[in-house]
A and B are shown apart, each in its own frame.
Chain A
């Protein structure tokens, strides 16, 4: 085995992949959130559709999209490998275990949170991404595909809004642990900076997820 595959198949190596892909996906969340803020523009969806048209056709974005797929792919793949390995490390469990007294709930349930996010992601991709890319959306006034109308109609279904909001809560907890955890994993833990990283991670998680959750709630209740 070469040193590269050895490095990234070791327990720490896999963790580093988790951390780096996680941080990369965080950056995607920021871009995605900023773009989607177009939804709040009161122009009948014109700006949002221009944006989504750009995202769906720009060659650079289309290339980066593959990076995103890989990012998700590795993040999920490594998570599966590590989870199996970690479960195997303790064959017989405890009769009595009180982990809540030594650690946070989200830190112990990243797999569960990740699974919720994954389910959401599949629904979300099918509903918006798939139909925007391969579906037959009607054109809007600028002759762009009218994704906006699809979004608005989706966000008027209670079960969809509920799923969306729940997923954002899960994502928020996932990020609260994941963000600072990623820094720890790549070796960045310093008594000077770590407190700031923790606070930033917390604020980041809440703001990003609140931003995403605000969209379905806004349309469901106010539009």
Chain B
């Protein structure tokens, strides 16, 4: 199934798509056939074709989240053939192209599964838990205005680069979706690492990690068991080193902060 398709012959595919009317309703897998799919199409363009067909026939199109379609907004979130964002590593669903599939394939498409990500409809899920974790401390508390000159604090290039790499997290939730435990540790660690590495983030590092981890637990995500599927499926390659750094930050904060509660 993997590997690119050299001859650009159109494909016919069977889709098994999770359909669910709304959050409260029960869902089920429904089979659809799509025809004449070009290998150069993106996965979401293939779903567009399905939806246009459904709409024309008077059926309800499949709801799914997507927006930028260039792999950066983090909206798209499909669990394709048992993998978060599908069979190609380091790729969001919108950047997955149909040349990774073959004529006659059956493709199973499901939403992210985690209690903390309830289904809105069909393949669209509610990831506001991530926003609440960031609201718990994923920021540097500086008001607009009054910031010192950007060059006031030199930051070693290596540190800036590592912080950048952690900061590239797109918040798609593939880490949670792929994790056996539905753990959000990779997501949380990416933000904690970015701000723990940069001097700007040092002022609040203890309260930040304490509050973000507390919020993560409140949201009901599972605990990390160092399986590593999160990093393996992360479309932007956030590394497990960040989780270790998060653990270290957490231990240090708990051991040294003045927070007694």
A223 CB within 8 Å of chain B: no
Give the contacting residue for A102; candidates B110, B178, B247, B250; CB below 8 A.
B178
Chain A positions 170 through 187: 1 when the CB is less than 8 Å from some CB of chain B, otherwise 0: 000000010011001111
What residues of chain A lie closer than 8 Å to B81, measured between beta carbons?
A: 96, 98
What residues of chain A lie closer than 8 Å to B182, measured between beta carbons?
A: 86, 89-90
Task: Using known A-B contacts A96-B110, A177-B226, A184-B226, determine if residue A89 contacts B250 with beta carbons closer than 8 Å.
Answer: no
Q: Which residues from 50 to 109 on chain A have a C-beta closer than 8 Å to any C-beta of chain B?
A: 82, 85-86, 88-99, 101-104, 107-108
Kindly state the separation between the CA atoms of A1 and B260 in the bound complex, as whole angstroms: 9
- Whether the Cβ atoms of A82 and B260 lie closer than 8 Å is no
- Whether the Cβ atoms of B29 and A95 lie closer than 8 Å is yes
Count class of interface residues, chain B: 35 or more
Kindly state the separation between the CA atoms of A107 and B230 in the bound complex, as whole angstroms: 13
What residues of chain B lie closer than 8 Å to A190, measured between beta carbons?
A: 241, 244
- Whether the Cβ atoms of A90 and B213 lie closer than 8 Å is no
Task: Using known A-B contacts A90-B115, A96-B82, determine if residue A181 contacts B223 with beta carbons closer than 8 Å.
Answer: no
A209 CB within 8 Å of chain B: no
- Whether the Cβ atoms of B233 and A102 lie closer than 8 Å is yes
- Whether the Cβ atoms of A110 and B213 lie closer than 8 Å is no
- Whether the Cβ atoms of B225 and A189 lie closer than 8 Å is no
Q: Which residues from 159 to 196 on chain B have a C-beta closer than 8 Å to any C-beta of chain A?
A: 178, 180-183
Kindly state the separation between the CA atoms of A2 and B108 in the bound complex, as whole angstroms: 47
What residues of chain B lie closer than 8 Å to A95, measured between beta carbons?
A: 16, 18, 29, 108, 110
- Whether the Cβ atoms of A3 and B247 lie closer than 8 Å is no
B96 CB within 8 Å of chain A: no
Task: Using known A-B contacts A10-B213, A184-B247, A187-B251, determine if residue A103 contacts B227 with beta carbons closer than 8 Å.
Answer: yes
Task: Using known A-B contacts A97-B82, A186-B247, determine if residue A89 contacts B183 with beta carbons closer than 8 Å.
Answer: yes
Q: Which residues from 185 to 217 on chain A have a C-beta closer than 8 Å to any C-beta of chain B?
A: 185-191
- Whether the Cβ atoms of B229 and A103 lie closer than 8 Å is yes
Give the contacting residue for A99; candidates B229, B246, B251, B260; CB below 8 A.
B229
Chain B positions 228 through 261: 1 when the CB is less than 8 Å from some CB of chain A, otherwise 0: 1100110000001101111111110010000111
What residues of chain B lie closer than 8 Å to A103, measured between beta carbons?
A: 180, 227-229, 232
What residues of chain A lie closer than 8 Å to B115, measured between beta carbons?
A: 88-91
What residues of chain A lie closer than 8 Å to B240, measured between beta carbons?
A: 184, 189
For B230, the closest partner residue in chain A by CB is: A102
- Whether the Cβ atoms of A188 and B223 lie closer than 8 Å is no
What residues of chain B lie closer than 8 Å to A46, measured between beta carbons?
A: none
Kindly state the separation between the CA atoms of A127 and B92 in the bound complex, as whole angstroms: 55
Kindly state the separation between the CA atoms of A186 and B224 in the bound complex, as whole angstroms: 12
- Whether the Cβ atoms of A89 and B82 lie closer than 8 Å is no
Q: Which residues from 27 to 78 on chain B have a C-beta closer than 8 Å to any C-beta of chain A?
A: 29
What residues of chain A lie closer than 8 Å to B114, measured between beta carbons?
A: 89-90
For B261, the closest partner residue in chain A by CB is: A3
Task: Using known A-B contacts A89-B182, A103-B232, determine if residue A15 contacts B241 with beta carbons closer than 8 Å.
Answer: no
What residues of chain A lie closer than 8 Å to B220, measured between beta carbons?
A: 88-89
For A187, the closest partner residue in chain B by CB is: B248
Chain A interfacial positions (CB closer than 8 Å to B): 1-3, 6-7, 10-16, 82, 85-86, 88-99, 101-104, 107-108, 110, 177, 180-181, 184-191
